[in-house]
Structure 1
Amino acid sequence: MSALPFPSNDAALAASLFTGHQGWLLQRLLLRLRNRAEAEDVASETFVRVLHAGRLAAIREPRAYLTTVAKSILLQQWRRRDIEQAYIETLAQLPDAVQPSPEERAVLLEALERLSRALDTLSVKARRAFLMSQLDGLTYAQIADALGVSASMVRQYMAQGLRCCLAAADAA
């Protein structure tokens, strides 16, 4: 006889949560996504994340909680698609001789996604400052003017951004 992955009380709560709300969540996702397979994937991932969080007994408003988790999953998927699209557009501009292999593309895309997730942990101003410097090539003074902060604040934002990027690289 195999052991349950969590205590039997949690198993009962999980079963109750799933049977009571899976159909509702799927219908809600279908309305938003208009693709049954994608909606089923997001619904399944939602329940997996809820179960792995291990706080089933603490859930007081199951539909609100499931909606929040599902929205988080959708945002991650949409961000990944945006990154993939930007990457594909950039690759299309490269000559064939320097096109990366499919394996290199996958590694680069994963690194871009990791960096994107890391930068999302920064405040809006810190993220904007870092991207203005790294992508637009603006000076600290130009960034300070654009954001309405001091150049020393921009230096702090840049340090935060660099620490984020280093942490993402170390996590690889």
Structure 2
Amino acid sequence: MSSAEPPVHSEVATLYADHHGWLQGWLRRKLGDVHQAADLAQDTFMRLLTREEPVQAREPRAFLTTVAQRVLANHYRRQQLERAYLEALAQVPQATAISPEERALLLEALDEIDRMLDGLPPSVRRAFLMAQLDGMKQTEIAQALGLSLTTVKRYLLQAGMRCFFAVAP
């Protein structure tokens, strides 16, 4: 280990050497797909490498299972988002279809927006998405959700602030 390398890297290297095979097998049983299991096992260890605090796992497999379950939840959320996007795309006339590169960038942006809004109440998220994606006016959102205009404005401000501070330096 070099002197510039954070201590967490050596901890993760040890976890990887000792438990990568086990974690990949656990994920393979959950997913039924060896390739996705390999990808998500790597994602799990990458998530650990980005940590700033030491791992210090007394029960390494339980710890890895917890981290992998979060990675798996993000995977399922992204799949759900992609399915919804593909369903919406199927509604668009073929002449306005986008390239695979544009599609990948759009899915990445949608995933980022979803992460920024994560933790907000569903009604706040829904109001924000109605305004941003559907182009609905505040009065239309209030009527569609059965809320007051003041509540819709508060919801949009709350979600907007969440997005702003998520991307602010």
User: Does the alignment reach a TM-score above 0.5?
Assistant: yes
Give the gaps of 5 or more residues in structure 2: none
RMSD between aligned residues = 3.1
Bigger drift between 54-63 and 65-74 goes to 54-63
Q: How does 1:80-159 map to 2 (within 5 A)?
A: 80-131=78-129, 135=134, 138-140=140-142, 143-144=145-146, 152-159=150-157
- What is the percent sequence identity of the aligned residues? 41
TM-score (normalised: structure 1): 0.73
1:3: which partner in 2?
A: 2
Distance in 1 of aligned mates of 2:58 and 2:150 = 45
Q: Distance in 2 between matches of 1:72 and 1:41?
A: 14
- TM superposition outliers: structure 1 runs of 4+ over 6 Å: none
**2:75 matched to 1:77?**
yes
TM (norm. structure 2) is: 0.74
The number of aligned residues is: 164
The answer to whether 1:34 aligns with 2:20 is no
Q: Deviations over 1:4-33 (max 9, x none)?
A: 76257962x334322332232222111101
Change (3 A) 1:57 1:98: closer
Deviations 1:94-144 (Å, cap 9, x if unpaired)? Answer: 222211233322222222112111111423442244346665955426535
CA distance in 1, matches of 2:57, 2:8: 14
* Rounded Cα–Cα distance in structure 1 between residues aligned with 2:51 and 2:67: 11
- One-letter amino acid of the structure 2 residue matched with residue 31 of structure 1: R
Cα distance change of structure 1 residues 139 and 132 upon mapping to structure 2, 3 Å threshold: same
Q: Which residue identity is paired with 1:72? A: R
Structure 1 residues 5 and 48: CA distance shift in structure 2, 3 A: farther
Confirm or deny: 8 A CA contact 1:144 1:151 kept in the other structure.
no
